[in-house]
Structure 1
């Protein structure tokens, strides 16, 4: 029997008083124990705040991103051990891959986004500067910095690895230490994963701790710099959210709860279409993957009245081919629920649904289980219900049997479908299978406010779509109302949950110093050699090159027009150009001005500038006519290391005319050797 330990204040703590037994989902036999009432929660919080937090905050965003990538690759090499341990949770190999590979993949996405979308520094800039005074001497902008507390992650039983890693990745990237509390039923898998991460030596001391068992009074000792992220039932979330200390100290509380997720078969998706077959496949997968124990699983199936019988027949036929049994057997396609207590709960909830709907597939009394004792293990069959009158029903819209249970219900038209979707009072995800863009738009306008994610799929996207029930690290995961009202993932948005957004105000020089990004109006350095001759490590923020002037002639404009084929009338027809409210007459092409600008500031000899990789935020602000002159101011705005050989330099480029009016402005990106 496994003694599932906790990792607290740098030490592994064995189970003790108050430990709970954990049974195999396959056999019902006790395989482990976890929990210790003597665990010192306050010491864990102190260790995270005093040791883990400072160590993480000392690292830059890029340092932390590299750390996440290294940890993810370390786990990838050892994932088979996590697969082997996970079978006793009732999950199949394909379920393990969703959990383990999905969690590792999520870490890799955040590692990549951290390097590409965040600075190699300690302050994240949220938007551009705002001019708050008349002359630009007083500016403001928003920044984000790490919370100086600890994140407590309370996770559900169904994804012991992904559930931990999808919260841990953005938390560590933000620079905040975490205390992970997995559900006891599957905490032995989480403990194994945490051991791997700690054994890697890649994480700073105090950055990750583990509670196997209960939290005790830990939540009572959280403060304004701490955060709680919870995944689980609505009832448990309500109890946790109501903790007086959490409310007193305004502790951030993000909740991702169970919800009555739905899938809609579009009116165009009739039998024989690719969309109809796709819909049946999606419903089947969501009912059977993880034995339906997914917070995103399809609980309500909404189909046009005319297609109800066809949908029931098609789903039932597919379920009939699904082998249920010991997940360790090669042919098994659906394993067991996580525990017998969960089995009893699912059967009770299914009975409530059965009071309003007819069960059309799946009998728990007669189900055949391959290679295991159905009474000893936590096995239930997929159960499909049909609710003929979903408007009068209540339980099908507010009761979630957290297992392989789903209900088919008819809709009359799209307005009715939207009404049924919204009767769930908030969900993590709703899917719509349709090849009709108007259907997708109407459902979006009517129902998006009730869902954290809307997933559309059809013949065009089905080859790449990841599925109704797959939260992706790039996109927000969460939902309103019953779903908890919180958010996770969503790329860098997920990192922001563990940072404080602060408005800073001051002079351009102050804003430049804080954000390590040059702000127009800040000090310029113009006494150096041409910046294109200086390496990435040598050039400084604010380093500026002012070019000589160049006259733009009518011959230049006509040559450019005929050479490129851009003979738009504003460049070629004096009378037509004058009739345009934007132009005084014939004017130079904007892209001609950019080309002339490059000629004015480029240093042509080989040097540290390796490549021009693009430009951002281009604006043409004043027309340039024949006979006008332009000059360029080129300023180093920001520097970001990219690999071992070179880094990205972002230049602020301003084009002035002979009257010192701004004709154009943009940001130039180059890759520069370190030197």
Structure 2
């Protein structure tokens, strides 16, 4: 009997989509086709590969209305936010524009005696294991440079966003990327891990949990397969005494609550200089109380349900545990009557928190943030670094030199000043500690999906 993946909508608990899982044999056959098709794709001129990928992105944009509605049904994101295609376009456009330079040979010598240079070769078949929270943005970070560099791509999307993988495959096919060069496969975890263990991929990019990252590493052990991992985060914000308070509240609250807190680089803990603490907290409460939790298909909704009830229950557990340990909740859940004890969860702000509480140390991935006062930069840095994760950190200040000095002391992949929760495609997207390893976007993103090949050509002297 064929097994299936069922996508349960958090909006109403109904089955939103159901797809058959590929068997191990079917999956191996698909990857074999990708490997066979890749050399011909790599031989196409770079300009042609770029043009076809760009055409695929254009085709994706033509699906905008459909994608927005599907995202609401799959993960509960309010339709008012319009999907993810503006970010997709920004990242794809930048990576296409820099491709010629990023992939250009490095010439060492071209004389009458020698020609010496370093070129970049594609890795072959790239596996992209994409997450549900930003199913287009996260996937495109690797898909676009991998295809442009001449790789074939196999996409395994999260079960919560089955339709996102299908839309990406439809778009790339419409743009002219051969069907075997870009494939969307519906796979379970054991089959995915078996394919990795059999060394069927030249590179594996995984975005997801720390536990998932460990499973990927175990599967790849001994295969020498290159791996890129973006795992958990507990990203901090720091409001210095000289910060623009209104801007800090608006930016950090949006960074904490957007997408119901389900953002890889969302703000999960905030440290505020003691002189601004009370004012910050009052304004943060006002900001949260202006939000509207409810049906994501309603234009006025700003907070939809979390993607699954179990995710909401995990956040409820962190909040309850923190309150039992002495934290004080500032938001009365009664202000959000749509909180049904299931996937719909009222946002929460906590004060009186400490780093002995899980809510300040473990990833929440939901609409809750703890806020602590600090004496100075030194205390803020110590608390920001007191975490197993290191994706981004956000500093709010009028002093750019101070932000640079603080940033140099932080164990993180990206340092923001006066903004948060954003990926600049010109900058490397990376992390440290349990957040993972590897690099995406920027010119370095092309290094991840290619390998260097050296040419040392000695010319015959007559």
For 1:77 and 1:114, the matched residues in 2 are separated by: 24
- Is the CA contact 1:287–1:382 (under 8 Å) kept in the aligned structure 2? no
1:368 alignment partner, one of 334, 337, 360: 337
Tell me the alpha carbon deviations over residues 176-201 of structure 1, each in whole angstroms, 9 at most, x when there is no partner.
11111111012123323322332x15
1:384 maps to 2:335:
no
Offset at 1:225? 5.8
For 2:408 and 2:235, the matched residues in 1 are separated by: 18
Summarize the Cα distance change of 1:118–1:416 in structure 2 as closer, same or farther, 3 Å threshold. Answer: closer
For 1:353 and 1:477, the matched residues in 2 are separated by: 32
- Is the CA contact 1:174–1:496 (under 8 Å) kept in the aligned structure 2? no
1:334 alignment counterpart? 303
2:399 alignment partner, one of 436, 459, 466: 436
For 1:481 and 1:83, the matched residues in 2 are separated by: 34
1:289 alignment partner, one of 251, 258, 275: 258
For 1:169 and 1:474, the matched residues in 2 are separated by: 14
For 2:342 and 2:164, the matched residues in 1 are separated by: 19
1:228 maps to 2:204:
yes
Q: How does 1:577-588 map to 2 (within 5 A)?
A: none
2:213 alignment counterpart? 237
1:349 alignment counterpart? 318
1:641 alignment counterpart? none
1:452 maps to 2:426:
no
2:363 alignment partner, one of 400, 409, 420: 400
1:129 alignment partner, one of 101, 104, 108: 108
For 1:34 and 1:345, the matched residues in 2 are separated by: 27
1:501 maps to 2:452:
yes
RMSD: 2.5
- Is the CA contact 1:224–1:249 (under 8 Å) kept in the aligned structure 2? no
Local SS of the residue matching 1:31: strand
Summarize the Cα distance change of 1:57–1:311 in structure 2 as closer, same or farther, 3 Å threshold. Answer: same
Tell me the alpha carbon deviations over residues 640-665 of structure 1, each in whole angstroms, 9 at most, x when there is no partner.
xxxxxxxxxxxxxxxxxxxxxxxxxx
1:256 alignment counterpart? 230
1:427 alignment partner, one of 365, 384, 390: 390
Offset at 1:146? 1.0
- Is the CA contact 1:21–1:30 (under 8 Å) kept in the aligned structure 2? yes
Q: How does 1:214-225 map to 2 (within 5 A)?
A: 214-222=188-196, 223=199
Summarize the Cα distance change of 1:189–1:221 in structure 2 as closer, same or farther, 3 Å threshold. Answer: closer
How high is the TM-score relative to the length of structure 2?
0.92
How many equivalent residue pairs? 458
1:212 maps to 2:163:
no
For 1:394 and 1:344, the matched residues in 2 are separated by: 17
- Is the CA contact 1:359–1:383 (under 8 Å) kept in the aligned structure 2? no
- Is the CA contact 1:95–1:290 (under 8 Å) kept in the aligned structure 2? no
Which consecutive residues of structure 1, in runs of 5 or more, have no partner in the other structure?
Answer: 1-15, 270-274, 458-466, 511-521, 524-675
1:143 maps to 2:119:
yes
1:60 alignment counterpart? 45
2:134 alignment counterpart? 159
Offset at 1:386? 1.6
2:19 alignment counterpart? 34
Summarize the Cα distance change of 1:224–1:30 in structure 2 as closer, same or farther, 3 Å threshold. Answer: closer
- Is the CA contact 1:356–1:396 (under 8 Å) kept in the aligned structure 2? no
Which consecutive residues of structure 2, in runs of 5 or more, have no partner in the other structure?
Answer: none
Summarize the Cα distance change of 1:224–1:188 in structure 2 as closer, same or farther, 3 Å threshold. Answer: closer
Summarize the Cα distance change of 1:112–1:94 in structure 2 as closer, same or farther, 3 Å threshold. Answer: farther
Tell me the alpha carbon deviations over residues 278-312 of structure 1, each in whole angstroms, 9 at most, x when there is no partner.
11001121122111100100011011123222111
Offset at 1:215? 4.8
**Runs of 4+ with deviation above 6 angstroms:** none
- Is the CA contact 1:173–1:495 (under 8 Å) kept in the aligned structure 2? no
Local SS of the residue matching 1:327: coil
Summarize the Cα distance change of 1:363–1:485 in structure 2 as closer, same or farther, 3 Å threshold. Answer: farther
Offset at 1:257? 0.8
Local SS of the residue matching 2:440: strand
Summarize the Cα distance change of 1:219–1:287 in structure 2 as closer, same or farther, 3 Å threshold. Answer: same
2:440 alignment partner, one of 444, 468, 488: 488
Tell me the alpha carbon deviations over residues 237-291 of structure 1, each in whole angstroms, 9 at most, x when there is no partner.
1122112xx121210111001111011112212xxxxx21111001121122111
How high is the TM-score relative to the length of structure 1?
0.64
1:50 maps to 2:52:
no
1:195 alignment counterpart? 170
Larger Rg over CA atoms: 1
For 2:140 and 2:184, the matched residues in 1 are separated by: 13
For 1:125 and 1:353, the matched residues in 2 are separated by: 55
1:578 alignment counterpart? none
2:78 alignment counterpart? 92
1:649 alignment counterpart? none
1:185 maps to 2:160:
yes
For 1:136 and 1:278, the matched residues in 2 are separated by: 61
1:476 alignment counterpart? 428
For 1:219 and 1:304, the matched residues in 2 are separated by: 46
1:277 alignment counterpart? 246
